[in-house]
Structure 1
Amino acid sequence: MACSPLLMAQSSMTDQQVLEYVKQGMSEGKDQRQMATELARRGVTREQAERVKKLYEQEQGVNTSKMSGTEQNEARLREATQEESTTSVLENPQPDSRELAQENQVFGRNIFNTRNLTFEPSVNLATPPNYRLGPGDEVIIDIWGTSQNTIRQQISPDGTINIEKIGPVNLSGMTVSEANEYLKRVLGKTYSGLDAPDGTLEIRLTLGNARTIQINVMGEVIQPGTYALSSFSTVFHALYRAGGVNEIGSLRNVQVTRNGKTVAKVDVYDFIMKGKTQDDIRLQEGDVIIVPAYEALVQISGNVKRPMKFEMKKNETLATLINYAGGFSADAYTRSLRVVRQNGEEYEINTVKEIDYSAYPMRNGDVVTAEAILNRFTNKLEVRGAVYRPGIYQLNGEINTVRALVNEAKGLMGDAFTNRAVLQREREDLTTEIISVDVRSIMAGTSPDIPLQKNDILYIPSIHDLEDRGDVAIFGEVAKPDSYSYSDNMTLEDLIIRAGGLRESASTVRVDVSRRIKDPKSTHSTDSIGQMFTFALKDGFVIDGEQGFTLQPYDQVFVRRSPGYQAQQNVQVTGEVIFGGTYAMTTTEERLSDLVKKAGGATSKAYLRGAKLIRVANDEEKKRMRDVINLMNRQFGEAMMDSLGIRVEDTFSVGIDLEKAMAQPGSEYDLVLREGDVLSVPKLNNTVKVNGAVMMPNTVGYLSDKNANYYLDQAGGYALNAKKSKKFVIYMNGQVARIKGRSKDKIEPGCEIIVPSKKNKRVNVGEILGYASSFGSLATMFATISNLIKK
């Protein structure tokens, strides 16, 4: 997983922390790939990992330089596996990102640089009997029976262990099996029971900690060099440590040299293809692994299961290449392959037949292409239209005529138009011709049957395909207004039933049907564009209108809404009234004073001047709101409007004066109510708020003889950025007024004085108020503006 530059830049891990993290993770047995991914996630770069690797190597060098030879061997044994894994993680803190298109990849080349396949030797397996001991190996000698003892020692650099009462015993170069037999003879001098025929005393040598060996990986690998590996390591693990082969390295001829002699030749393809591991031998001290350049690299593309490049050995054939590629894909043309070959001067094309695949040797640079089969049929027939099983059929000895094909398709459907079918035929030059077919006569046997050819398409139309049936539609006061498929003899009542019946609000005295004018024989245009029929209904049946009337395709039915139908309309009153709650309106002219009277009148604590009316916005009002906001967006910009929080809302506040409405019922102050209105009658609030560009926003007790300046003084006076001439007041009922001069009449209980700020240069409050007036007394708009200004 690649790290983002931001995450890498924010890495907070020091080099020492990275080193400690890797050491701890290895001691806890964490997966190397997980640790590498975590380091990359924490921002550790490849450069930092290289620094930490050098730090780790220096640390190991300092520590071992102060030890004796035996101590150094012990240290190497303890840390051999950990060091190998630690450097592996540090060398690759980020997963390999070398990705190529599959056809450009060389098969098997990535096997030694994947994080999931390390070939690391397991430390939990029993010691193989043929394991050859050497300096640095820790051996455990267990003695049991009539005597009990355990000897645990490390083979010294001179190849010996020191056994008490016996002295140095040379084990270097012996296999574990040979060492067991040798120790029986040596220890038999001290433990006499070892030679007893009854086996009263037994001895067994096993390996404790394996030694570290040094091997050299040379040739065409990513990172050639000398590597310290566990003595259990094999050729594949060494190749993994070296990063795998490079772009010219061979996977088919990896050589292991020991003491100047080649002891193994490894073909990695045998492991990948067949799972063979006998050539993946265990390495010994001083072994040299040589990866030569490949002899031949061949590419196969097209319709094979594994299109990519493959390394080929001498005398391997095209059949071998196909096997390496996983065989042909299902749509491959297998009878021949195209090979592009270099002849030393230029390219040449060879077409290799299937019979020659096993005898055609591959050469370096060959490019093989497997084509796809042709996208055509040798014996296809098709029948479409009014048969029970339309589709594709086989042209054979039984199905080779029109009658046989129709019978194979399970016969004609009832709506089949049999007087004339269409047979589409492909000529030799791939053009098509149309042949008319009298299916009725052929099926009846009165006309000769027509022979079929490959790729013939027989189309038998339905009578419905040949006429424009259309739909009928119903609108208005029905349960499911929609378009419905037309049927012969469909009546108005039938369509109403299909639409779920009439709604409660439907008018039964007028149902209109509109019909388009159709005159296929007309030779001139007319002014008429349609016909209209009107009907009356009773109990779902037509009682007035054209008798025997049936619908025609494309008719439109309109069920009108009864003008006398009215659903209940409710309004609500809350606050300081005797009986607050929801009330049903009884007339379309019900007013504020009527609602208060229904609620038993106002209480003695009611403050009628502060009453507020909240109204639900209808579609027209919302449209006007959107129009105003769009206009303001163009004037001030969307960013300004977003910051003001001005938006289309479902409700708005209507400025009212309930005190005057109650005093003058039916007057212009006594507004007509609308469904959903909520009238809120508050208690007297004898305070005044001061907000905006003042020294200290404050709430002050209301005094009837004080003007605006008094309340502003109670807030510390104007701030430096105050627009003194633009101050205004918002009343409890939602109304807004400018404050001019020293008038005290503008100040009422519960109101809020707002002083705008000069910093809002981009928007003029007066302009916004002017736009907002288009809403029709939308006090909510002004409250939003005041909240913005005081921020």
Structure 2
Amino acid sequence: MDINMRLIVSISTFLISIVGYTGSSYSQAAELANIQSQCRNITPQQRQMAKAAGYDVDQLCSSVSNLNSQESTQQPIRTVIPRGSAVEMNSRGVIGEPTEPVSEEVEFVADLVETTKFIDDSGLTRYGYDLFAGIPTTFAPATDIPVPVNYVMGPGDQLQIQLLGKVSQNINLTVSRDGTINFPELGPISLAGLNFTEAKSRIQETVKEQMIGVRAVISLGELRSIRVFVLGEAFKPGSYTVSALSTMTNALFVSGGVKEFGSLRNIQLKRQGEVITTLDLYDLLQKGDTSGDQRLQPGDVIYIPPVGKTAGITGEVKRPAVYELKNENNLESLIQLAGGYSASAYPNISHITRKSNSGFTTVIDVDLTTKQAKSTRLKDGDLVEISTVLDEYEGVVGLTGTFHRPRKVKWKQNLTLGDVITSIRDFKENTDLNIALIIRKSLPLREISVLHFNPRSVIEGGEDKDILLKPLDRVVTFSAFDASRHSGSSLDLFKETDPEIGSIEEANALEAQLEKEEIESKTNFRVSLLTPVIEKLKEQTSDGQLVRIVEISGNVRFPGVYPLSQNMNTRDLILLAGGLREAAYLGNAEITRKDLSNFESASVEHINVNLAEQLTGRKSFELQPKDKLAVYTTPEYRERLNISLQGEVRFPGEYEFKRGETLSQVISRAGGFTPMAHIQAAVFTREALKLQESARLEELRERMRADIAASELEEVAAGEAAGMNNAEALLNALSETEAVGRLVIDLERIVSNEMTDIQLQDGDQLIIPAFRQEISVLGEVQHATSHLFNEQWTLEDYLDKSGGLTGRADDDRIYVVKADGSVFLPNQSGWLTHQNEMLNPGDTIVVPLDTDRIKSLTLWTNVSQIVYQLALGAAAVKSL
């Protein structure tokens, strides 16, 4: 059979064999490539011969070409997805492309999550396992790397041949199963067993000999695929098809990596039953050495044995992890595996945790600065811990507080305050220059003591500049203002210079700092700054001793608890508390002192001192631990008291008054009333009453919510359901009602001295509205409005003029809110007879809702009345 008939038969057979074909095996791919090559190289003479035999070669080749195009578009990109991704497994257990998780797959992936972490029982990560950790799907062969010269040609490899010279032609030939290529016009050329360089030379020599004036340029096209086995402790052991250029690590990627109990250091490559080489992945991970990563051949077996001896290392090393040991038998080699010590390592104190043969866990202390300790033999399961250097400074002096540059200064012999504080520019603008502290730590017990000094004296060259500093001293300065002028907490400031006091353990720190909100609202910067120091003083106090702290209260700028410094007197404590306030009484102050000298019972002593003498230095009273200084307020000293007069007074405005002054006196100072003043409608408000009203309103809101909730649980008729809507509306009105703090007064009688005058309080307000001629009608009437006052009209007349009552009105509880804020009820004695005489301009008639329609809402009457009254009072206040 000649070549064209062989081609026709091959094409027909191949097309029949792949009916229903949706993906290609590698054998089909090789055959397809061979047929495509023959189609490209068919001659016109062969095409005519096939047509004479009844075959259309072009149509058959077109079918093959379309099939290849379909395959290339449908073939997914081969990859390895990370473990824990959503994957799909088919009925054969093969992991496919990522897809939406299904119930079984979700469980499968969930089981993988812990595996991907590779966490040892010690909490350390197993070194290197996450590098290859993935879920195998398919594999993307490397097609963009140079082909090595020793690459051995095999079936399926494609050669791209370009003929130059007398003949110019591009030919793609595929190595067949018998190791040959079918070169047009030259026939088969055997390449079996040859590497790429040798195969290229053979083809070029053949072309040169048989095609005069033609030379060939040859390169590799698509490479064949090979099948290898990944067995042992692989994540997904099995048979895998990979590129012919693949190496051992490529196959590991395909299989999803190594299980957590598989070896990374003894991966074996077996070929025809013999171990060809072993791969130590640590060489790749730590040195980038790929010399052991051998290229694979068809049928190779990669075997991953169980992990060998392991040891963990934690603490101050660069790569803390659990390592598999190969030739590393001692501590020094394990530290090298971990990348060496970190910058903060302190190898002098290290530990080995070891499982003993007796079944117990033991700890071995080692000093890794010695040669003997470094050579300590490791055992399987050892855990080595490298300690860290202490978070504590040595040989320094700390500067904290209101320094422009809080820092640590190296201590040297004869270092003084004048050496570290050289200018006023060292401090922030608002620094308190009257007093500052030195917190001194004494070794070896690290107990602290406190000294005070005058920063101004240091700056001006006074005697305080010569105070000698010691190692670990901390110089603390304060602001003359409160915490709002400073950012950060007191502990943050201390951590800069003394981590021990700055952290006083987490629980003590929280207690020492109180709540952050409390510090910002109740204390001040200096008190919060010293809180850790005070807590440290409390901790170091022995049984039976008084804590070296003092307290100051009263009229000082920053009252609170302060550390007792050496030789501290009352003047020093007052300065430490920011100084006296304006109202401080200088004549006398009281010191309360505890006396524990009698073991039977403690006693308290009260000592009076003259502050003026203490502050001027004429006398000095030295304080003792737990003393408390109380600074009194100057008798009859008051802050400014003010009342606001608004409306129809001759000179409205803010008026300052003294204690005991009355309302009529202030009105007289304001020039009295204008001719348009409606004295009977005066509104007098007081801050204390406003606070009481606010509390009362909140109480009523809560009670009404409870009543409404109880009513909603009852079975109510349809009419009552409408009543519930009214209740909700009333509750909303109550929620929007604001307290006024109005005090009902008869101003006309007060100014005429017919009744007791009102003693004024700070924040009082008097509003005199202009004369009003109307009577207002509110509530359950057809049209709530105001009417011009008519002396002849009765209550019923005003109600009739407003359209009369609604069906929801409670006509038994109609009441009148007088212009002065007082309330009159219709059922009071004499009302029916003289009601027209009791109505005056500025009054308001209120018709409440009939609250008896819903029996459970017992508060309605009170609530509705309060809402109306407060609304009227608020309207009077806002009318000006």
Aligned partners of 1:113, 1:656: CA distance in 2, in Å?
80
Aligned CA distance change for structure 1 residues 579 and 271 (closer, same or farther; 3 Å): same
- 1:300-449 aligned within 5 A: 322=334, 326=338, 331=347, 340=356, 366-368=380-382, 391=443
Answer whether contact 2:269 2:277 (CA < 8 A) is retained.
Answer: yes
Distance apart, 1:537 and its partner CA: 7.9
1:97 to 91, 104, 114: 114
Amino acid of the residue matched to residue 217 of structure 2? I
Answer whether contact 2:352 2:383 (CA < 8 A) is retained.
Answer: no
Answer whether contact 1:507 1:561 (CA < 8 A) is retained.
Answer: yes
1:256 to 265, 269, 276: 269
- 1:10-159 aligned within 5 A: 62=22, 69=32, 82-85=77-80, 89-91=85-87, 96-98=113-115, 99=117, 100-103=119-122, 107-113=127-133, 124-132=144-152
Whether 1:561 aligns to 2:633 is: yes
**Aligned partner of residue 184 in structure 1, secondary structure:** helix
Amino acid of the residue matched to residue 96 of structure 1? V
Distance apart, 1:82 and its partner CA: 1.5
Distance apart, 1:266 and its partner CA: 2.7
Amino acid of the residue matched to residue 243 of structure 1? G
Aligned partners of 1:673, 1:495: CA distance in 2, in Å?
38
Answer whether contact 2:249 2:293 (CA < 8 A) is retained.
Answer: yes
Aligned partners of 1:759, 1:577: CA distance in 2, in Å?
47
Aligned CA distance change for structure 1 residues 499 and 287 (closer, same or farther; 3 Å): closer
1:598 to 654, 667, 670: 670
Answer whether contact 1:332 1:370 (CA < 8 A) is retained.
Answer: no
Match of residue 204 from structure 2: 184
Aligned partners of 2:629, 2:663: CA distance in 1, in Å?
40
Whether 1:765 aligns to 2:859 is: yes
Deviation string, structure 1 residues 550-595 (Cα, Å, up to 9, x no partner) = 4243576655434454443333355677765434346743428955
Aligned partners of 2:373, 2:609: CA distance in 1, in Å?
84
Match of residue 761 from structure 2: 674
Deviation string, structure 1 residues 214-233 (Cα, Å, up to 9, x no partner) = 44333333322333444544
Amino acid of the residue matched to residue 677 of structure 1? D
Distance apart, 1:205 and its partner CA: 1.7
Amino acid of the residue matched to residue 247 of structure 2? T
How many residue pairs get aligned? The number is 601
Answer whether contact 1:688 1:752 (CA < 8 A) is retained.
Answer: yes
Aligned CA distance change for structure 1 residues 735 and 267 (closer, same or farther; 3 Å): farther
Whether 1:700 aligns to 2:781 is: no
Aligned partners of 2:143, 2:782: CA distance in 1, in Å?
79
Match of residue 227 from structure 1: 240
Whether 1:661 aligns to 2:747 is: yes
After TM superposition, the structure 1 stretch with the greater mean CA deviation from structure 2, 705-714 or 663-672, is 705-714
Aligned CA distance change for structure 1 residues 129 and 730 (closer, same or farther; 3 Å): farther
Answer whether contact 1:96 1:114 (CA < 8 A) is retained.
Answer: no
Answer whether contact 2:782 2:803 (CA < 8 A) is retained.
Answer: no
Deviation string, structure 1 residues 580-627 (Cα, Å, up to 9, x no partner) = 5434346743428955983874695x8777765554349xx9699779
Aligned partners of 2:82, 2:278: CA distance in 1, in Å?
28
Deviation string, structure 1 residues 484-532 (Cα, Å, up to 9, x no partner) = 858879687x877777665444456x42455759898x99999995454
Give the root-mean-square deviation of aligned CA atoms: 7.1
Match of residue 449 from structure 1: none
Match of residue 33 from structure 1: none
Aligned partners of 1:182, 1:211: CA distance in 2, in Å?
20
Q: Any stretches of 5+ residues in structure 2 without a counterpart?
A: 1-19, 34-64, 88-97, 102-108, 388-412, 415-440, 446-468, 472-543, 711-727, 875-880
Aligned CA distance change for structure 1 residues 601 and 63 (closer, same or farther; 3 Å): farther
Match of residue 282 from structure 1: 295
Deviation string, structure 1 residues 278-307 (Cα, Å, up to 9, x no partner) = 33233345544333445x545568999688
Match of residue 456 from structure 1: none
Aligned partners of 1:154, 1:612: CA distance in 2, in Å?
108
Amino acid of the residue matched to residue 859 of structure 2? V
Match of residue 498 from structure 2: none
Whether 1:616 aligns to 2:687 is: yes
Distance apart, 1:263 and its partner CA: 4.3
Amino acid of the residue matched to residue 621 of structure 2? L
Aligned CA distance change for structure 1 residues 636 and 136 (closer, same or farther; 3 Å): same
- Identical residues among aligned pairs (%): 23
Aligned partners of 1:190, 1:578: CA distance in 2, in Å?
130
Aligned CA distance change for structure 1 residues 189 and 648 (closer, same or farther; 3 Å): same
Distance apart, 1:478 and its partner CA: 5.0
Whether 1:244 aligns to 2:315 is: no
Deviation string, structure 1 residues 239-273 (Cα, Å, up to 9, x no partner) = 23323334654444433345666544333344345
Q: Which has the higher helix share?
A: 2
Distance apart, 1:238 and its partner CA: 2.5
Answer whether contact 2:82 2:133 (CA < 8 A) is retained.
Answer: no
Aligned CA distance change for structure 1 residues 608 and 341 (closer, same or farther; 3 Å): same
Aligned CA distance change for structure 1 residues 293 and 560 (closer, same or farther; 3 Å): closer
Amino acid of the residue matched to residue 132 of structure 2? F
Answer whether contact 1:472 1:486 (CA < 8 A) is retained.
Answer: no
Aligned partners of 1:214, 1:255: CA distance in 2, in Å?
17
- 1:749-788 aligned within 5 A: 755=849, 764-765=858-859, 779=870
Aligned partners of 1:252, 1:340: CA distance in 2, in Å?
26
Amino acid of the residue matched to residue 97 of structure 1? E
After TM superposition, the structure 1 stretch with the greater mean CA deviation from structure 2, 167-176 or 241-250, is 167-176
Answer whether contact 2:315 2:385 (CA < 8 A) is retained.
Answer: yes
Answer whether contact 2:643 2:656 (CA < 8 A) is retained.
Answer: yes
Aligned CA distance change for structure 1 residues 330 and 525 (closer, same or farther; 3 Å): closer
**Aligned partner of residue 702 in structure 1, secondary structure:** strand
Aligned CA distance change for structure 1 residues 634 and 163 (closer, same or farther; 3 Å): farther
Aligned CA distance change for structure 1 residues 321 and 596 (closer, same or farther; 3 Å): same
Aligned partners of 1:515, 1:561: CA distance in 2, in Å?
17
Aligned CA distance change for structure 1 residues 471 and 739 (closer, same or farther; 3 Å): same
**Aligned partner of residue 290 in structure 1, secondary structure:** strand
Aligned partners of 1:222, 1:121: CA distance in 2, in Å?
20
Answer whether contact 1:475 1:557 (CA < 8 A) is retained.
Answer: yes
Aligned partners of 1:528, 1:184: CA distance in 2, in Å?
115
Answer whether contact 1:221 1:245 (CA < 8 A) is retained.
Answer: yes
Whether 1:218 aligns to 2:231 is: yes
Whether 1:203 aligns to 2:217 is: yes
Answer whether contact 1:512 1:557 (CA < 8 A) is retained.
Answer: yes
Answer whether contact 2:686 2:743 (CA < 8 A) is retained.
Answer: no
**Aligned partner of residue 240 in structure 1, secondary structure:** helix
Aligned partners of 1:144, 1:86: CA distance in 2, in Å?
45
Deviation string, structure 1 residues 308-352 (Cα, Å, up to 9, x no partner) = 766566x9856898478648985578999978569xxx9999x9x
